[in-house]
Chain A
Amino acid sequence: MLMQILKDVAVVSGISTLLAVVLIIAQKYLSDYGICKINLNKKRDVSVEGGSSLLNSLAEEQIFLPSACGGRGSCGTCKCKVNSGGGPLLPTEKPFLSKTELADNVRLACQVKVKSDMEINVPESIFNIRRFQAKVHEIIDYTYDIKGITLKLVSPDTIDFQAGQFVQIESQAYAKIKQKVVRAYSISSKPQDNDRIQLIIRLVPEGICTTWIHKYLEEGSDVTFTGPYGDFYIRDTEADIIFVAGGSGKAPMKSMLEDLQVKGTTRKMTYFFGARTAKDLYLTDEMRSFEQVFSDFKYEPVLSKPAPEDKWKGKTGFVMPYFQDAIRDPKNTEAYLCGSPGMINAVKKSLIAMGVPDDKIYYDSFG
């Protein structure tokens, strides 16, 4: 009986091992693409081991393209221009690329494999992106489901970013969750405090990363992130500004306003903050205090469904109907929006209807 069991195990393991060995040998010879040279923006060459995805190969060279899904081809943010050596377009990339992008050789870096020398174009700003080790310095409860997390940088110990940009946090395994995920959050502190960043994070029910941040991070915990990413920052003009944020979308606005406070500005600015009830409001006094700082700034919280106990006397409903009073000259107005895709679409539509130019509406949308 025992012999029989041993024999079974031996045969199955033997066959498996044999096949595994064949596969390993095949992999070694077949997937060896040697060292491939990737030319970036016709300026810089990096040499990488061929065979893995362009996204990962670049990350190994400390060049970080933004990627919210961690390379699974589901977010479409790791776009870059592949001029040569990318091979044909894959069915997995098609849904994420517009017609102009297709014509422009734009690809998803997580799907393109490095198999030969390549020539690619990436935005200059990504060379500034680094991977940071940091420690949690402070956690503030803003509302029942929104926390402000301050991270003190360990290495590198300073960060150079523009107010409004975001970073990507890498969550660690916790409790029953084994997988590590990467999620993007806007920086809410000002760029002048370059040894730390603050993030404002709302707890998403069942969210892997936000649950980790809300329930498992404490002061002193280690956090790894990459950044800064994004082109959501205040354009240096004299146009009037209208800010619209919802929920944790207050983060980039806080950074922008604090940055403007340091730099000084006389631009006319109105900030609409949309929330459901009074218990979703936070940092109200801080935002109001900017009305004293700037010559022409107004903070307008708007509650969509104020609870009876809120005794809310301010503005209610959607934010859009209140824009009319805030916009003097639509052609000379810039809009900065941050919130859910639904809110951004609605706000964008109403701004365009009022005559604000499409290319002056900047936004940072999160799902």
Chain B
Amino acid sequence: MEISSFVLFWAAIFTSNILLTNFLGMCSYLSVSKEIESSFGLGVAVAFVLTITSGLNWIVYHLILVPLGLVYLQFIVFIIVIAAFVQLLELLVERYTPALYYTLGIFLPLITVNCAIFGVSLFMVIRDYSFVQSMAFGAGSGIGWLLAILMLAGIRAKLKERLVPIGLQGAGISLIITGIMALAFIGFSGIVNVQ
């Protein structure tokens, strides 16, 4: 696919935001968006893991699975790579940057099961991205996810002082807000389309 990595990066943040157009990574998005501080921590961790794992999975896919004709194993292999990388990252962060570990560390296990991470690896295969494109798309998607969860956390912080009908409190109102945010993001879609 001929699309510059730079464009892809911006497109992944705005026009095809992984959360607001594909609705991937919803579970942690809904559950950790109560406070801006912790949602920022999780968002940064997701962005970092997304960037690295899309690169790693590109290597595994193109250098191992494709040559061996085992493309249909991609689901299971991608998940293994993501899980192992998150585990390794947790060890590294815990050892070398204890301060970061105490703010990000508790979110890392959550990321293993974040479908946005897995989704990006699958998109990269379906859309036939190159290595650099994959990394750009991963980084963009991660930042896009961070942006989305920060926005929701900000709105939910404001919402705390407002009355919400009992039936809509919690996940209900969050999903409505997310829907409106997604509508707003459609406004970007005329700029460039990568879907």
**A22 close to B70 (CB less than 8 A):** no
Minimum C-beta distance from B65 to chain A (A): 8
Contacts of B94 in A (CB 8 A): 30-31
**B95 close to A31 (CB less than 8 A):** yes
**B-facing mask of A13-31, CB < 8 A → 1, else 0?**
0011001101100110011
Tell me which of B73, B91, B98 contacts A31 (CB under 8 A): B91
A1 CB-CB contact with B under 8 Å: no
A7 CB-CB contact with B under 8 Å: yes
**B99 close to A30 (CB less than 8 A):** no
Tell me which of A22, A88, A91 contacts B99 (CB under 8 A): A88
**B88 close to A87 (CB less than 8 A):** no
CA A15 to CA B80, docked complex, whole Å: 8
**B60 close to A88 (CB less than 8 A):** no
**B64 close to A11 (CB less than 8 A):** yes
Minimum C-beta distance from B193 to chain A (A): 35
**A23 close to B88 (CB less than 8 A):** yes
**A11 close to B88 (CB less than 8 A):** no
**A15 close to B87 (CB less than 8 A):** no
Q: How many residues of B are in contact with the other chain, CB < 8 A?
A: 22
**B77 close to A15 (CB less than 8 A):** yes
Tell me which of A8, A26, A88, A92 contacts B106 (CB under 8 A): A92
Residue on B nearest A87 in the bound complex, by CB: B98
Minimum C-beta distance from A22 to chain B (A): 7
Contacts of A346 in B (CB 8 A): none
**B98 close to A15 (CB less than 8 A):** no
Contacts of B88 in A (CB 8 A): 22-23, 26
**B91 close to A26 (CB less than 8 A):** yes
B27 CB-CB contact with A under 8 Å: no
**A-facing mask of B146-185, CB < 8 A → 1, else 0?**
0000000000000000000000000000000000000000
Minimum C-beta distance from A251 to chain B (A): 39
**A19 close to B91 (CB less than 8 A):** no
CA A87 to CA B38, docked complex, whole Å: 19
A90 CB-CB contact with B under 8 Å: yes
B84 CB-CB contact with A under 8 Å: yes
**A30 close to B95 (CB less than 8 A):** yes
Indicate whether A19 sits within 8 Å of B92 (C-beta atoms), given known contacts A87-B102, A88-B102. no
**A8 close to B91 (CB less than 8 A):** no
Residue on B nearest A89 in the bound complex, by CB: B102
Indicate whether A26 sits within 8 Å of B92 (C-beta atoms), given known contacts A12-B73, A15-B64, A88-B102. yes
**B81 close to A19 (CB less than 8 A):** yes
CA A335 to CA B182, docked complex, whole Å: 61
Interface residues of A in 135-153 (CB under 8 A from B): none
**B73 close to A8 (CB less than 8 A):** yes
Residue on B nearest A11 in the bound complex, by CB: B70
B68 CB-CB contact with A under 8 Å: yes
Interface SS, A side:
helix
B3 CB-CB contact with A under 8 Å: no
CA A16 to CA B80, docked complex, whole Å: 7
Interface residues of B in 83-130 (CB under 8 A from A): 84, 87-88, 91-92, 94-95, 98-99, 102, 106
B191 CB-CB contact with A under 8 Å: no
B1 CB-CB contact with A under 8 Å: no
Interface residues of A in 71-106 (CB under 8 A from B): 87-88, 90-92
**B102 close to A90 (CB less than 8 A):** yes
**A-facing mask of B39-74, CB < 8 A → 1, else 0?**
000000000000000000000100011001010010
Contacts of B106 in A (CB 8 A): 90-92
CA A16 to CA B87, docked complex, whole Å: 13
Contacts of A20 in B (CB 8 A): 84
Tell me which of B38, B76, B87, B98 contacts A12 (CB under 8 A): B76
CA A327 to CA B65, docked complex, whole Å: 81
Chain B positions near chain A (C-beta within 8 angstroms)? 38, 60, 64-65, 68, 70, 73, 76-77, 80-81, 84, 87-88, 91-92, 94-95, 98-99, 102, 106
- CB pairs A–B below 8 angstroms (24 shown): A7-B68, A8-B70, A8-B73, A11-B64, A11-B77, A12-B76, A12-B77, A12-B80, A15-B60, A15-B64, A15-B81, A19-B81, A20-B84, A22-B84, A23-B87, A23-B91, A26-B91, A27-B91, A30-B92, A30-B95, A31-B94, A88-B99, A88-B102, A90-B102
Chain A positions near chain B (C-beta within 8 angstroms)? 7-8, 11-12, 15-16, 19-20, 22-23, 26-27, 30-31, 87-88, 90-92, 115
Given contacts A12-B73, A19-B80, A87-B102, 13 further A-B contacts (CB under 8 A): A8-B73, A11-B70, A11-B73, A11-B77, A12-B77, A16-B80, A19-B84, A20-B84, A22-B84, A31-B94, A88-B102, A90-B102, A91-B106
